[in-house]
Amino acid sequence: MTETQTGEILLFLALLFVATYLVAGLLTRLRIPGILGGLFVAMGAHYTPIGERLLTHPLHEPFSFLAQLGVLFLLFYIGLQIDLKEMKGLSGNIIWCTALNTAVPFFFGAAVMLALGYGWIMAFVIGLTRMPTAEAVIVPILDEFQLIRTRVGAFIIGAGTLDDVIEVFLVAFVSVWIGERASASFSAAVLENEVLAILVSLLVFAALAWVSYRWLIPLLGRWLPRNPRNLIMLAMLVLFVFGGMSEYGGLGMVVGAITAGVLMRPLFNSIGLAGEQAIQTIQSVSYGLFGLIFFFWVGLSVDLGGMIEAPLLAVLLFLAAFLGKLIGIFLMVPMGRLNVREAWTIGIGLNARLTTEIIVAQLLLEAKLIDVDLFTALIAASSFSTIAVPLVFTLMMRHWGEELRRPRDIPTQKEEKYAG
């Protein structure tokens, strides 16, 4: 970037931060998380020269990079809040949650596309886009309501992290399909090679994580005096290594960021006050700077006009994902794994979107595999989720927050009967 462009992006960000600071004050008085102010301000800025400049070349690339750093820092902080022992105790339920909250919306999304006359491959791809969750959108709200270390938080973060595997497969599938369509017919063999490469990356990543957890991080933690400054330096080292490695290996930086946080937590816990101070600093940077820039990026990507241009298709795609995830989660109620209020909260939380859909939709549009109407509907459906989910989730927390923060075991059928 030139000096002029650097100054321009800094001034645009300054304006967004000023507006967010003012709006956050109003939202806080209404008992709505202030971080949503960044989302709402950016949604309005979408229709101003600020939105146009930040979303087009040459400012788009540096702005997107800052937004990706926001994802990295937000999820790293969330990883620091995860207790592996607690997650292990809920692992069976989290697997069930992931399976049900992805399978049902997939079938609903595919069915919508088939009913509208699209082919099987397109129905398969669009069905996959109904499955993933954008954890970075919902986890700041979880943290705002002190739900990270609760059953609800464990389900949302655990299931959201596991379905990142689906995001990796989805983007890989679409990329290979586009490449093959550009030359010849779609080749299953090429897709198999891509999947194999991802599996190898996953094994290497897991091995490095295990070695780091057992030996490397404890050793590095003793290399310098254990003060907050040195701990943050080590945390950034671990974050960028695992974030970069997972992104480079095709696993996505989400997996790397959360893993880095989980790996660093034992060291921070063992140090005491210095560890707590380091965590507080990371939280401040995550929510006060990079996380807000990520919410700016999400809000600027929301095109409310798209909902008017293709209302029926957008509504059908939104309902396929929204109802699909809710129905999938509610299937766990008669199984005795969740009560009704937990099911509502987790189902709404897992509906946070606007990451993978944009990437896939853009790839398909550029390859001329979908038309503008379908592209607009995909973006509009995700945009509506981005607006609705944080608001609905916040309203539920105002009524059920205290109950959901209390520790509890897996509910019995009798408890479920009275929970609703």
> Are the beta carbons of 137 and 390 closer than 8 angstroms?
yes
**368 pLDDT higher than 80:** no
How large is the average pLDDT for residues 384-405?
Answer: 83
Provide the pLDDT for residue 22. 93
Every domain of the chain and the residues it spans:
69-409
| Packed helices 135-144 and 291-301: angle between N→C axes, nearest 10 degrees | 130
Confidence of residue 411 (pLDDT cuts 50, 70, 90): very low
* pLDDT tops 70 at residue 408: no
Q: What is the pLDDT of residues 300-317, one digit of tens each?
A: 877 666 667 668 888 899
What is the DSSP secondary structure assignment for residue 362, as one 8-state letter?
A: H
Give me the pLDDT at residue 179, please.
57
- Of residues 175 and 352, the one with the higher pLDDT is 352
Percent of the chain with pLDDT over 90: 22
Residue 140 backbone phi and psi in degrees, to 5: -60, -30
CA distance 297 to 10: 14
Residue 164: the pLDDT is: 64
pLDDT at residue 329 greater than cutoff 50: yes
Higher pLDDT, 117 or 376: 117
Q: Is residue 412's pLDDT more than 50?
A: no
Per residue in 211-241, pLDDT (tens digit) is 999 999 999 998 988 899 999 999 999 999 9
The CATH number of domain 69-409, selected from 3.30.1360.120, 1.20.1050.10, 1.20.1530.20, 3.40.640.10: 1.20.1530.20
- pLDDT over threshold 80, residue 198: no
Cα 357 to chain centroid, rounded: 12
Return the DSSP state at 111. H
The residue with greater pLDDT, 353 or 419, is 353
What was the pLDDT predicted at 416? Answer: 41
15 pLDDT higher than 90: yes
Quickly state the pLDDT bin for 182 (edges 50, 70, 90).
Answer: low
pLDDT band at 208 (very low <50, low <70, confident <90, very high): very high
Per DSSP, 370 falls in state: S
The runs of H, that is alpha helices, within 310-371 are 311-330, 340-349, 356-366
Least confident of 90-94, 285-289, 330-334, 339-343: 90-94
**Do you know the residue count of the chain?**
420
Task: Report, as an integer, the average pLDDT of 242-256.
Answer: 80
Residues 63 and 297: their CA atoms lie apart, in Å, by 8
Q: Which residue has the higher pLDDT, 36 or 181?
A: 36
Q: Which of 247-251, 299-303, 335-339, 405-409 has the highest average model confidence (pLDDT)?
A: 335-339
Instruction: Look at residue 160 and tell me whether its pLDDT is greater than 50.
Output: yes
The answer, yes or no, to whether residue 114 has pLDDT greater than 90, is yes
Q: How confident is the model at residue 286, as a pLDDT?
A: 87
> Mean pLDDT for the chain?
81
Higher pLDDT, 95 or 254: 95
Tokens of 38: 């960044």
> Higher confidence at residue 363 or residue 401?
401
Q: Taking Cα atoms as reference points, which of 270, 289, 298, 274 lies closest to residue 54? A: 298
Given a cut of 70, whether residue 19 has pLDDT beyond it is yes
pLDDT at 334: 92
Tens digit of each residue's pLDDT (9 = 90 or more) over 115-158: 988 888 888 888 888 887 877 678 777 877 888 778 888 888 88
The pLDDT of residue 183 is above 60: no
Here the tokens at position 13 are 């960000």
Find which of 2-16, 43-57, 89-103 is predicted with most confidence, using mean pLDDT. 2-16
The answer, yes or no, to whether residue 90 has pLDDT greater than 90, is: no
